[in-house]
Amino acid sequence: MNVPDLFQPLAFTRGPELKNRLLLAPLTNKQSNEDGTVSDHDIAWIGRCARDGYGMTMTCATNVQRAGKGFHGQLGIYDDRHVEGLARLAALIRAGGSVSSVQLHHSGARALGGVNGIPAGPSGDIADGARTLSTAEVEHLRDDFITAAQRADTAGFDGVELHGAFGHVLAQFLSPTLNTRTDPYGGTLEGRSRLIFEIIEGIRNACRPDFQLGLRLSTERFGLQVAEIRDVAAEAIHTGSIDYLDMALHDIDKTTDEDEFKGRTLLSLFTDLPRGNVKLGASGKVMSARKAAAALQTGCDFVMIGRAAILQPGFPKRVQHDHDHRSPELPVTQTHLEEAGLSPAFINYMREGWDDFVAPDTVLASK
């Protein structure tokens, strides 16, 4: 696979074809209004990304319940009043020639307690001050994920991605250490993954037939076990109800230390799975044209672009015109990010939330 292969169109089972295989990863940016509605900064950022040339443009993690809010400035999809702003984002993405998706998210036991009362997850001991969701509340959570997908559908998005990665609520349920429930949503892997599969089936039944559905999974930390995550991925593919699997890896070249697979790359454990019509993509330190092409070479159908999308507008267009394109080296200055179109809130998040991303800015520091 070579760089031009990244620009082969990609068709999912459902919904519109993607014009290329470089997709914008979900990127939290903490710049929405505090009530979860879309801000002018969201419009500017998504408008910029929509013009960048990605095959699909995905929103940041967007919370499906008020109680699931994970951070200030998070985009919301838990209320009908969010639909109007979301529809503006969907229209911008479509006008940019990109397929659109909302990432559906809930922070579970790690939600902002101070804003929403007591955070709750599969088990109360996950975080200080958290409590355990009752079975009825888990069913309610499932239904709120499905209703959120319907809102995305109403807003004109081509699909949604379920955020099952990084220790947020769906990964909390998957984790054998974080989920100590004894009801049908705990116990064996079948029980711990039940919530995800009920949401997938619910979205399939509630949204229009060509609505695209992706599942994001990660394999590390939070007690997650790669063998189990591989089984969940295989089952999600087997249902035929998802269009794509998005593996969130720290680095697409990373190998695993787990005994069963020692020395193998995490990615190879997923590219090896029979996948039928379900497409497979991954993210993790893809900062150059060559590395993106290498991800296709290892068996991915598409590549998710995270930090490279933040660092400079137009990653796909740059890759298309320069097969040796590389993103700027980290860290970059505040001025660099301002020129790349980031809002003050987004830059602040990159400074405080991500090590070695924003360097002291000599221009501003001298003032």
Ligand X SMILES: Cc1cc2nc3c(=O)[nH]c(=O)nc-3n(C[C@H](O)[C@H](O)[C@H](O)COP(=O)(O)O)c2cc1C
Residues in contact with ligand X by the rule CB under 6 A: 25-28, 60-61, 103, 163, 165, 216, 248, 283-286, 305-308, 354
Short-list 70, 44, 75, CA closest to 59: 75
Instruction: Pick between residue 41 and residue 216 the one whose CB is nearest to ligand X.
Output: 216
Report the 10 Å Cβ neighbour count for 126. Answer: 25
Query: At its nearest, how many Å lie between ligand X and the CB of residue 331?
Result: 13
Query: At its nearest, how many Å lie between ligand X and the CB of residue 40?
Result: 19
Instruction: Pick between residue 65 and residue 283 the one whose CB is nearest to ligand X.
Output: 283
Instruction: Pick between residue 103 and residue 132 the one whose CB is nearest to ligand X.
Output: 103
Instruction: Pick between residue 28 and residue 150 the one whose CB is nearest to ligand X.
Output: 28
Whose tokens are 């947020």? That residue is 168
Query: At its nearest, how many Å lie between ligand X and the CB of residue 54?
Result: 12
Whole-number Å distance between alpha carbons of 218 and 284: 11
Whole-number Å distance between alpha carbons of 71 and 322: 37
Query: At its nearest, how many Å lie between ligand X and the CB of residue 217?
Result: 10
Query: At its nearest, how many Å lie between ligand X and the CB of residue 318?
Result: 15
Nearest residue to ligand X by CB is 306
Beta bridge partners, 212, equal 159
Query: At its nearest, how many Å lie between ligand X and the CB of residue 188?
Result: 26
Query: At its nearest, how many Å lie between ligand X and the CB of residue 343?
Result: 13
Instruction: Pick between residue 60 and residue 141 the one whose CB is nearest to ligand X.
Output: 60
Query: At its nearest, how many Å lie between ligand X and the CB of residue 182?
Result: 29
Instruction: Pick between residue 185 and residue 315 the one whose CB is nearest to ligand X.
Output: 315
Residue 68 backbone dihedrals phi, psi, to 5 degrees: -95, 5
Q: Which tokens hold the place of 48?
A: 């910029």
Query: At its nearest, how many Å lie between ligand X and the CB of residue 327?
Result: 9
Query: At its nearest, how many Å lie between ligand X and the CB of residue 164?
Result: 9
Whole-number Å distance between alpha carbons of 366 and 298: 47
Report the 10 Å Cβ neighbour count for 16. Answer: 16
Instruction: Pick between residue 155 and residue 171 the one whose CB is nearest to ligand X.
Output: 171
